[in-house]
Amino acid sequence: MNPYHILNVDKDSTQEEIKAAYQRLRSSSHPDRGGEASMFDKIQKAYEILSDSERRKQFDLHGETEFKPDNIHEEIGSLFLQCLNHSDPVKAVKEINQMNRHRTQSQVASLKQQIKGYKKKVSRIRKKGEGLNFLKEVVEIQIRNSQQAIKKGEELIDLCNRIEAVLNDYSFDPDESEQKPVFITGLSINY
- pLDDT, residue 75, reads 82
Each residue of 68-98: pLDDT tens digit? Answer: 445 677 888 888 899 988 899 999 999 999 9
* CB 54, CB 67: distance < 8 Å: yes
- pLDDT, residue 78, reads 85
Distance CA 27, CA 23 (A): 6
Which residue stretches of the chain have pLDDT < 70? Answer: 64-71, 177-191
- pLDDT, residue 180, reads 53
* CB 43, CB 7: distance < 8 Å: yes
Helix (H, G, I), strand (E, B) or coil at 187: strand
- pLDDT, residue 137, reads 92
- pLDDT, residue 179, reads 55
DSSP-assigned letters across all residues of 97-110: HHHHHHHHHHHHHH
Q: What is the value of pTM for the model shown?
A: 0.53
- pLDDT, residue 57, reads 83
Instruction: Please state, as a whole number, how many other Cβ atoms lie within 10 Å of the Cβ of residue 56.
Output: 19
- pLDDT, residue 168, reads 92
- pLDDT, residue 89, reads 92
* CB 157, CB 149: distance < 8 Å: no
